[in-house]
Structure 1
């Protein structure tokens, strides 16, 4: 009975304080649930996309003399299998073709075979560029080396046997060549093997006729593999569980076929990388989410602390009337459970809305709710029950009733804890940034993820130190510089500004709390918005780097896109179309991609970042290349491998259109390219298209890059329609590439998290400023009533109210924006390894920040209006109530 009466009286007389506490708990619960949901959704999406995009899950290679039928049966016993297909490999000592009156010969290569059912199971292993799939096929690079087309005859040289001839039916691309030709059974530390440059694809029957005799003579030159597709729907949704399941099944298979076959667990390797993505999502949660959760919790504590004097007075009255320590704690516990339950329910309702933004299922939302709900109850108990227990200890009734006491500087301020923490943050940041901390590593193309949790020390110390420094500075300005505050308050208080400034200086501790909460909330909103905008902008840059432009037509040497340039430039929505060559060149014995560009035109369609190049801006590098006809830009890896210096002459071997053989073409090394549109991340070359065309007598460009004025996906559809009847070309738009990159190792899709965080940032900022101000007014209703009773005019009271609002709003915006920009800069610097390439500057979302400032000002104005309305209540009634 007593507990229900106490709660009902609080709801009647302390409704705004209860509402503030419930709101703080709700924001904390909702943000925790939303962030937990983000982790769940991100990891589930990563797993689904990784599994779906895996071309071949397992490659099982029987050793010579093993029983293939038994091995196939063991595969079915080790895991839930969707399909098993055979692939055959043979080694050739070289290929030869006679085309255009010349004879072309290649070095060693591979001849592979698989049946029609293979491509139905693994459709991404092969892409037709020209001709048909109805006979022998040539890989794209092999066709370029032999200058062969569908209908030409190619001679396959066999070790120890006479050569055979086949008639080519089509030219294809092998997108998954790295995995398809990998060395099965190699140790993990072994360097990746490059796929062969020369590949012929036959039907199984023809392969057996040609290479079964070779296998009898040279058993080591032929082999067979089982390519396995696992039952993907049966795999767990979380990457760690899926990795454990797939790896365990692979180990089971290895135990069954011990000594009889070798197993390459491609899906397990991919899921292992996705586990790293899960770590990365966790890092984003810690860096971006925890400050918001901490701020929502701090808001809850600040709301309860703002009524500390009234709470202590209530306790002293209860103790005077005989209430025991246990009864008082019971009342506080009931209040805590009430606001905890209310805040948790409201927070879960907000989290349900967030779940829709993230696309969470009911199970995912329930999982997030199970994490957040206990946190809300614990927060409420800590914010309400702990202060009550603390105030009961070591306080007499008379001291508890005392409203005014001697104010001493806090212990942390006397010892300079804020300065110590900021110094520690600077040292930790310098150590992490100077050592080139990267959260995602990909050395030599082999994905590996490492999380250095010591890097969290810098932002953690910065947030705590900056909050304490803010309290120090605010107290110094408000309590120690009334003249400066008076000038600031003149627009709100007019001629009363000196009096108001002096009065407010006596309440500096209360006001600094309001300024600090508003500033920290604005800092969180600012830092989150800037980081997310920078991150999303760099994801777009990464997509542009991968795709080359808004829309790109990828042709081949056999079927170049360049001849269709005039047609593509007229497609509605295309504002610029620029050709770009894509050929191959030998640097020594290393075959690399070489791109021929028109330096003066490339930037009409492609966006080049200064970070793509070393030692100069993109504009300066392109100008230098344009001024040097035989100049070449070389990737960093090639410069390192071949120990090149600027100005060196480089003799590259390129295929000539005259005799279709590789000939030496001299270039001069003029610069280093770290990245380049459509180029691989390791080794590549960039040169003038005119010089390459003249040296090779092959003018058409393989690619066409296009800039669009509308939606790239829609324009890409029009481009495909314009290219109907032109074989061997692929059209890609930047939107589809962004979707792929958003689920890759180096990036996590932040769109859902961004919307949630920025929404909560506005709510927390508005609540911190307006709610703290409104509750401060509620605490001083008695003071306003007394002022009214002694003759203070409504305009004078309004001047006091407006001055407090102006002080909190101005201080919060000034300090918050400054801290937010600094925190965002620190996050971007610490997470530089996430960006590819790193951002040149921070991206400032002025529209969003303007909205945050507007909401803060609006909430402060609402609090002032609320206080003015309350101050107009009858003075006698208000004094009786108090």
Structure 2
């Protein structure tokens, strides 16, 4: 009997079975896909964090420690690939003679590098001019001394005579912050700035120079072991962080005070641990509402067929079926719907994970999503039949009922108040969503912050439902439908009688639209800010940078003439002393720099980017400085600032006056720490050197093609480097981006379209199918097709049109709250929300097509023979 019953349901009630199964499938697919996103995303973060570290560990040897014994302790604590010793020596100064003058720097450091070091740790040093053989001078020191390949630099050792060194190359130190970190410093101490002047020597030459200094001044010479680990790390960044830090602690215990570990890998994993928690919050903020919406859709689809189920229960009881048989058949239907939904949803999840997320769904998440799908199928299918233990109970008609409980309790207002309070707490008060303190083994997410957008989403949807209920009272509705003709009164009365069902359908549509719009706007804003972040590092689509001795600005006209170049500009990049602190200083053309790069308002304090450029143009000596410099030197707006800049005529530093006009937080191509921004013309005039070291190119074509052409054009310039936006974006993006946020966006937006199309089409189709007896009777009484179409179109307009209108407004509001609360995802914070018009157009078309199909299906169903319809219902 059970098999025959299920076969009959599939043949006679296909829309009910497959509609509910589709809702279950969407729920299962959504949960399983998001589970794949979290699992594979965490592993991707761990791999990216490990690859971003130049040296995993820097083990500082104590005075008198034996390097071989410390190396044994390292190898005993954890598997390692490479262990190489490197020497550090403090020197009083570097000096060089050229052009009849002697240039002298301040204190610096000299590193002794063993053979094979640059191959073992390639991210530590980047060659600019010359090779990586012999004595290598940092770019900043070379600029200070004005030396070239083959020049002689004198190294002023501590307590010993100066020794000459012939320069074989000029290099950049991309990981200088970690290379010169204070290993063993207490946690919480501000990191020390890397030295301004650095020289790298082969280990043999370094030992010959500084072995006497080690004897005379042992406090100025130190040795480190640079380590590359071989241990396999767990996929979760948090677990990997614990494993690495515990191993580092084990080394220090084994060394018994003779060594301290600078755990660069642990620090990188600590940041990835924070990003992994942000990924989890993205699951909550963007994914969980979709899963809840899919579950609500399933419940609505099942509720639309509640009348059919009650009639079937009554018919079974009337023909003598005991309550247990009726319950068994209802349970069989729930299992059928659940199994169909789980199978279909698992297939969709596997497809989505492989195509959109480039990952795989784990068995655990398939099990979790499958159990959730079966539970949802059981609740949605069995709930309408509970309490139907007698024929009279199953056959009784459900009247208009009273005002819903949530309206009497003003739940919608309470939710909006809760949303406002939580938003104020999480966004307006500088609240941290993710807490991952350095040195603390456990990190946490403040999940209560999720209440703000969730309460706003639900509360605004319920407010829209309340307003729609007021609209569906006969008076307002009659005035709205008056233009349709003489049937306005009849249509208004029919819609008013069904206002509860229509309001529920419109609520589902509005929540679906709000989910789709908020997800789309958030993802569009995130992608735009990720591009802005890449512009912040690269400056423009293509960045051509060089050194002052061979500036790429001399090729500006040739670079600007390359195919597909829309705009071009050149910047000055020099170094200036602010007191005793050497900082980067950039000279820009304030009138044209915005044409080749993005200037965000968040780059400047208490003014927009446009106002900042206007201030630069208003006076030649205008100077923007970092907040750290303002605090250190207690500067106020309008204060004179005296910088020391190197003059081209004598290659010595001279005092140049500037005027402090504002605070700059970030600027394209500038470093993350302290830097200065001024007018290029003033900087060139005061230094006597108009050379421009950076050229920015904006293109409408392929950035990689333009970068290749620019690279060939400046290949003969020593130290010239070319980078493009796409490469830089992949390199500088946060580890959160490594989770494939683009794939997550496609997954979210694709499911949003499916949910919205299903919510509008399926709910309308099922609701109209439930009332097809009314339409068929009207047709039998002589109603014309156009008159029947008016009923159908009016109902569709209420559910789809009004629901979409309210949903769009709610979606924009929720997306604004999401962007504000998830500020940690954005660097820099966005100025405005970005609206993805193409996706919103596709969304509108999906609603229109689904609504049209539902109306056409209902009109065809209303044309069936009267006896057939009455018999089937």
TM-score under structure 2 length normalisation:
0.96
Equivalence for 2:34: 35
1:490 and 1:724 mapped to 2: Cα distance?
76
Instruction: For 2:71 and 2:524, locate their aligned partners in 1 and report how far apart those are by CA, in whole Å.
Output: 51
Q: Distance in 1 between matches of 2:694 and 2:141?
A: 19
In the alignment, the residues of structure 2 paired with residue 530 and residue 431 of structure 1 have an alpha-carbon distance, to the nearest angstrom, of: 23
Q: Is the 8 A contact 1:157 1:163 kept in 2?
A: yes
Give the deviation of 1:611 after TM superposition. Answer: 2.5
The answer as to 2:477 corresponding to 1:485 is: yes
Is 1:712 aligned to residue 703 of structure 2?
yes
SS at match of 2:486: helix
What are the residue-to-residue correspondences of 1:260-279 with 2, within 5 Å? 260-279=258-277
Aligned with 2:421 (options 396, 407, 427): 427
Which of 816, 823, 830 is the equivalent residue of 1:832?
A: 823
Alignment of structure 1 residues 386-535 onto 2, 5 Å: 386-389=383-386, 391-392=387-388, 397-405=391-399, 407-439=401-433, 451-478=445-472, 480=473, 482-486=474-478, 488-489=480-481, 494-535=485-526
The 5 A counterparts of 1:446-845 are: 451-478=445-472, 480=473, 482-486=474-478, 488-489=480-481, 494-744=485-735, 749-845=740-836
Query: Is the contact made by 2:138 and 2:197 (CA closer than 8 Å) also made in structure 1?
Result: yes
Secondary structure of the residue aligned to 2:226 is: strand
What value does the CA root-mean-square deviation take over the aligned residues? 2.2
- The C-alpha deviation readout for 1:12-68, integer Å capped at 9, x for no partner, is 222101111011011111111121122123222211111112100011122222222
Is the 1:635–1:673 Cα contact (8 Å) retained in structure 2?
A: yes
Name the residue aligned to 1:863. Answer: 854
CA separation in 1, counterparts of 2:46 and 2:850?
43
Which residue of structure 2 lines up, in the alignment, with residue 345 of structure 1?
343
Structure-1 residue corresponding to 2:289 = 291
CA distance 1:454–1:767, change in 2 (3 Å): same
- Deviation at residue 833 of structure 1 after TM alignment: 4.0
Secondary structure, counterpart of 1:93 in structure 2: strand
Q: Residues of 2 paired with 1:745 and 1:811: CA distance?
A: 37
Equivalent position SS for 2:162: strand
For residues 686-711 of structure 1, give each alpha carbon's deviation from its aligned partner in whole angstroms, at most 9, with x where no partner exists.
00111111111222111111111211
Report the 3-state secondary structure (helix = DSSP H, G, I; strand = E; otherwise coil) of the residue aligned with 1:717: helix
Whether the 8 Å contact between 1:276 and 1:448 is mirrored in structure 2 is no
SS at match of 1:739: helix
Q: Could you tell me how far 1:157 is from its partner in structure 2?
A: 1.1
How many angstroms does 1:360 deviate by?
Answer: 3.8
Gaps of 5+ in 2: none
What do the CA deviations read for 1:199-226 (whole angstroms, capped 9, x no partner)? 1111111111111111112222212111
How far off is 1:385 after superposition? 2.6
User: C-alpha displacement at 1:834, in angstroms?
Assistant: 2.9
CA distance change for structure 1 residues 643 and 95 in 2, over 3 Å: closer, same or farther? same
Query: Alpha-carbon deviations, 1:100-119, whole Å to 9, x = none?
Result: 11111122111101123111
Q: Secondary structure at the match of 2:116?
A: helix
2:183 aligned partner = 184
User: 1:384 corresponds to which residue?
Assistant: 381
- Offset of 1:406 from its aligned partner? 5.0
Pairing of 1:60-99 with structure 2 (within 5 A): 60-99=59-98
Shift of 1:73: 2.2
Structure 1 contact 746–834 (Cα < 8 Å) conserved: no
> Structure 1 residues 802 and 10, CA, compared in 2 at 3 Å: closer, same or farther?
same
The answer on whether the counterparts of 1:36 and 1:371 sit within 8 Å (CA) in structure 2 is no
Q: Contact 2:57/2:263 (CA < 8 Å) preserved in 1?
A: yes
Alignment partners' CA distance in 2, 1:544 and 1:222: 41
Contact 2:83 2:227 in 1 (8 A): yes
Structure 1 counterpart SS, 2:691: coil
Q: 1:356 aligns with which of 349, 354, 357?
A: 354
1:485 Cα deviation from its structure 2 partner: 2.8
How far apart in 2 are the matches of 1:690 and 1:723? Answer: 24
Is the Cα–Cα contact under 8 Å of residues 66 and 260 in structure 1 kept in the other structure?
Answer: yes
Q: Matches of 1:365 and 1:754 in 2, distance apart?
A: 20
Q: CA deviation at 1:745?
A: 6.4
Once the two structures are TM-superposed, the CA of residue 720 in structure 1 deviates from its matched residue by 1.0
Aligned partners of 2:715 and 2:731: how far apart in 1?
26
Provide the secondary structure at the position in 2 that maps to 1:64: coil
Higher mean C-alpha deviation, range 828-837 or range 468-477: 828-837
Taking the aligned partners of 2:669 and 2:735, their CA distance within structure 1 comes to 17
Is 2:255 the partner of 1:257? yes
User: Is the CA contact (8 Å cut-off) linking 1:88 and 1:113 kept in structure 2?
Assistant: yes
Per-residue deviation, residues 320-345 of structure 1 (Å, max 9, x unmatched): 44444433332222111111111111
Contact 1:82–1:229 at 8 Å: present in 2 too?
Answer: yes
Q: How far apart, CA to CA, are the structure 2 residues paired with 1:352 and 1:340?
A: 18
Q: Among residues 350, 363, 371, which one is paired with 2:368 in the alignment?
A: 371
How far apart, in 1, do the equivalents of 2:436 and 2:831 lie? 21
**Deviation at residue 408 of structure 1 after TM alignment:** 0.7
Match of residue 327 from structure 2: 329
The C-alpha deviation readout for 1:560-596, integer Å capped at 9, x for no partner, is 3222222222222222221111111122222221111
Q: Is the 8 A contact 2:317 2:390 kept in 1?
A: no
Cα distance in 1 between the residues matched to 2:325 and 2:550: 87
Question: How far apart are the structure 2 equivalents of 1:635 and 1:786?
Answer: 78
For 1:609 and 1:94, locate their aligned partners in 2 and report how far apart those are by CA, in whole Å: 40
Q: Compute the displacement of 1:370 (Å).
A: 3.1
- Aligned partners of 2:357 and 2:744 also within 8 Å: no
In 2, distance between residues paired with 1:130 and 1:680? 21
What's the CA shift string for 1:491-531, capped at 9, x where partnerless? Answer: 7x543222111111111111111111111111111111111
- CA distance in 1: counterparts of 2:60 and 2:611, whole angstroms: 52
Aligned residue pairs total 872
Q: In structure 1, what is the Cα distance between the partners aligned to 2:482 and 2:798? A: 11
Q: Is the 8 A contact 2:309 2:384 kept in 1?
A: no
